[in-house]
């Protein structure tokens, strides 16, 4: 019989032995520098199928006896951070010398996203790591073809952030990823900063990939994504919202319509400006207003057994400039009142225009369908039930917009 102490000793050794055995594992350890940290991805449709087939043969190909999906070939460009080229900390020391690109852009092709990623991995020493994937840009062509495959792939990945941005580019997505802006060393991070700051400044609704998925799943709502355009100076412009219906892009808005969209949905931190003609002035005189605050109260009513949406949009804004300095004075509040009336008219028109556009696309980006589903479940169950039927109904949905604009400040000038 062993004594207590001996038993303890044996036990300790058993535990230690177990630890040593486990140590031989380290199954999942993969040092950060051994990972190919992908910061951004661009997805394009390959131009012509014939010369692609040729290229596809050169890389790993998943087609087998059972066959491959008959999908258009896509081209993926991945931006990989190159360790050591991005300096540690704000100082200059230890950084890259000017001229060395801090990222490395690789291309791969495939029928599906996973196939292309596998092809990419085949050409890469380090294991691909998507935990820091911050931005995915897809070309309009690809988006119009449908994002179903991309989203399925992304959802299955455990590392993907729900806060990563998914954006649509007007031209080739690769060009956007290739652009080298001057403000930030890493292009993907510049794009990210641009989108994030746009959200902060009220110029873009916060709709990252996670929100896209949610909107796409919801029956009474359609997703939107930022719509990017590459400009001459290697810079990128947020050129509106890409409108989707059932994972497929169906259209895009203008940049100013983003403001209208945000007004209808009452997304605060307003950031868009617009011209309003000056009251009682025959001359070509305008003031420029900038919205700073938005709040919307959306109601659902039934008229003749059909749903009707009434949105009361309250906006607050400041006067930013006049076209001519002294032609028109704001010295008392009645002048402001007049101006507000004018603004309400102008904005209602603008918003109705956007609604008409989306109705044409049959894409309920405002989520009015969610109001119907949530507040009138009986009607929903009887008449709608599915996403596609709601799209049809949205086409003829009765929508009433009341805009109530308040001018709060006129700036440092007294008149």
Partner 1 sequence: MRLREETTLSGIEMAAILISTVIGVAILPFPLFAVRGAGTGAGMLTLMAIGITLIGLLSVIALGLRFPGQSIIQYGAQIIGRPAAAMLNALLIVFYIVLTASAAREFGTVVVTSVLKQTPIEATVIIMLLIAAISARKDLRTFANIHLFYTPIILMPVLLIVCLSFQNAEPLYLLPIFDHTPQILSSLLTITAMFQGFFIITLLIPHMRQQSKAWVSGLSGLGVAGALYLLIITSTVAVFGAEEVKELLYPTLELAKATNLPANIMERLDAAFISVWVTAVFTTLFSNYYFAVHALKQWLGTRDHRLFVFFLLPFLMLIAMLPENVLQMYEGIALIARGGFVLTVLCPVLLLAIAVIRGKRGAADAH
Partner 2 sequence: MSNDKLQTSPNLNPEQLLARYAGESCPASLSQLLEIVRLIMGSSDDLVIRTFYIYGRYEAVMLYINSLVNQQITDQQLQSFMTLPEWLSGTDKLGPEALKQTLLNKTVHLSEITVVSRMGDLINMLLNGKTIVAVEGLGEAFKFGARKIEQRAIEQPQTEQVVQGAREGFIEQLHTNLSLLRYRLPTPSFRILICEVGEYTKTSVAICYMEGIADPKLVSEAENRIRAIRLDGVLDAGYIEQFIEDHHYSPFPQVMNTEKPDKAVANLLEGRIVILTDGSPFALIIPAVFGQFFQTTEDYATRFLQGSFVRMARVIALVFSLVFPSLYVAIISFNPELIPTEFAVAVAGGRAGVPFPSFVEVLIMEISMEVLREASIRLPQQVGGALSIVGVLVVGQSAVAAGFASPITVVVIALTTIGSFATPAYNAAFALRMLRFPLILIAGMLGVYGVVIGLILIANHLLTIKSFGMPYLSPAVPVHFRGWRDFLIRAPLWILKKKPSYRQSRRYEDKEEGTA
Q: Where along the sequence are the contacts to partner 1 (CB under 8 A)?
A: 22, 25, 27-28, 155, 158, 161-163, 210, 213-214, 217-219, 367, 370-371, 373-375, 377
171: exposed, middle or buried (Cβ count in 10 Å: 0-12, 13-18, 19+): middle
Closer Cβ to partner 2, 83 or 277, answer by number: 83
- For residue 102, the minimal CB distance to partner 2 (Å) is 8
| φ, ψ at 195 (rounded to 5°) | -65, -45
DSSP string, 273-338: EEEEEPTT--SS-EEEEEEEEEEEEEEEEEETTEEEEEEEEEEEEEEEEESSSSSS---SHHHHHH
With CB under 5 to 8 Å by kind, the binding choice for 39 among partner 2, partner 1, none is partner 2
With CB under 5 to 8 Å by kind, the binding choice for 86 among partner 1, partner 2, none is partner 2
Closer Cβ to partner 1, 7 or 356, answer by number: 7
Nearest-angstrom CA–CA distance, 148 and 380: 26
- For residue 13, the minimal CB distance to partner 1 (Å) is 15
- For residue 130, the minimal CB distance to partner 2 (Å) is 8
With CB under 5 to 8 Å by kind, the binding choice for 81 among partner 1, partner 2, none is partner 2
Query: CB of 400 within 8 A of CB of 309?
Result: yes
- For residue 311, the minimal CB distance to partner 1 (Å) is 14
- For residue 268, the minimal CB distance to partner 1 (Å) is 13
The closest of 227, 325, 212, 226 to 278, measured between CA atoms, is: 325
The closest of 372, 365, 345 to 264, measured between CA atoms, is: 365
- For residue 251, the minimal CB distance to partner 1 (Å) is 23
Closer Cβ to partner 1, 35 or 373, answer by number: 373
Strands 236-245 and 224-230: antiparallel
With CB under 5 to 8 Å by kind, the binding choice for 109 among partner 2, partner 1, none is none
With CB under 5 to 8 Å by kind, the binding choice for 218 among partner 1, partner 2, none is partner 1
The closest of 250, 249, 292 to 138, measured between CA atoms, is: 249
Query: CB of 222 within 8 A of CB of 242?
Result: no
With CB under 5 to 8 Å by kind, the binding choice for 186 among partner 1, partner 2, none is partner 2
- For residue 100, the minimal CB distance to partner 1 (Å) is 27
List of residues contacting partner 2 (CB under 8 A): 8, 12, 19, 22-23, 25-26, 28-33, 35, 37, 39, 81, 83-89, 94, 129, 131-132, 134, 159, 161, 186, 189, 192
Closer Cβ to partner 1, 176 or 224, answer by number: 224
The closest of 201, 223, 220, 222 to 212, measured between CA atoms, is: 223
Rg (CA), the chain: 27
């Amino acid at each position: 019989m062993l004594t207590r102490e001996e038993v303890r000793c044996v036990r300790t050794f058993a535990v230690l032995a177990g630890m040593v055995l486990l140590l031989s594992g380290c199954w999942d350890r993969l040092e950060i520098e051994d990972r190919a940290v992908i910061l951004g991805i661009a997805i394009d449709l390959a131009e012509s199928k014939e010369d692609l087939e040729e290229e596809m043969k050169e890389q790993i190909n998943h087609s087998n006896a059972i066959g491959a999906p008959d999908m258009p070939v896509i081209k993926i460009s991945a931006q990989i951070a190159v360790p050591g080229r991005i300096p540690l900390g704000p100082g200059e020391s230890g950084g890259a010398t000017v001229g060395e690109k801090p990222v490395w852009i690789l291309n791969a092709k495939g029928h599906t996203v996973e196939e292309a990623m596998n092809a990419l991995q085949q050409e890469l020493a380090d294991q691909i790591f998507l935990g820091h994937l911050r931005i995915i840009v897809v070309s309009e062509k690809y988006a119009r073809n449908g994002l179903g495959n991309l989203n399925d792939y992304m959802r299955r990945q455990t590392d993907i952030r729900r806060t990563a941005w998914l954006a649509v580019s007007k031209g080739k997505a690769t060009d956007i990823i290739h652009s080298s802006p001057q403000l930030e060393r890493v292009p993907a991070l510049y794009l990210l900063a641009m989108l994030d700051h746009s959200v902060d400044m009220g110029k873009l609704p916060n709709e990252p990939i996670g929100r896209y998925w949610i909107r796409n799943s919801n029956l009474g709502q359609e997703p939107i994504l930022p719509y990017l355009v590459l400009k001459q100076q290697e810079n990128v412009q947020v050129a509106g919202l890409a409108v989707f219906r059932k994972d497929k892009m169906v259209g895009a808005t203008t940049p100013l319509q983003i403001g209208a969209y945000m007004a209808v949905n009452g997304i605060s931190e307003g950031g868009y400006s617009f011209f309003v003609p000056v009251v009682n002035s025959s001359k070509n005189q305008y003031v420029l207003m900038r919205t700073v605050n938005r709040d919307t109260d959306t109601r659902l009513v039934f008229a003749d057994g059909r749903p009707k949406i009434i949105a009361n949009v309250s906006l607050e804004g400041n006067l930013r400039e006049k076209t001519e300095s002294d032609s028109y004075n704001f010295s008392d509040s009645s002048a402001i009142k007049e101006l507000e009336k004018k603004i309400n008219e102008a904005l209602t028109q603008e918003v109705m225009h956007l609604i008409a556009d989306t109705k044409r696309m049959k894409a309920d980006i405002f989520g009015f369908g969610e109001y119907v589903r949530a507040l009138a479940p009986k009607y929903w169950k009887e008449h709608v039930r599915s996403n596609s039927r709601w799209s049809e109904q949205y086409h003829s949905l009765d929508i009433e917009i009341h805009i109530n604009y308040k001018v709060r400040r006129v700036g440092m000038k007294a008149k």
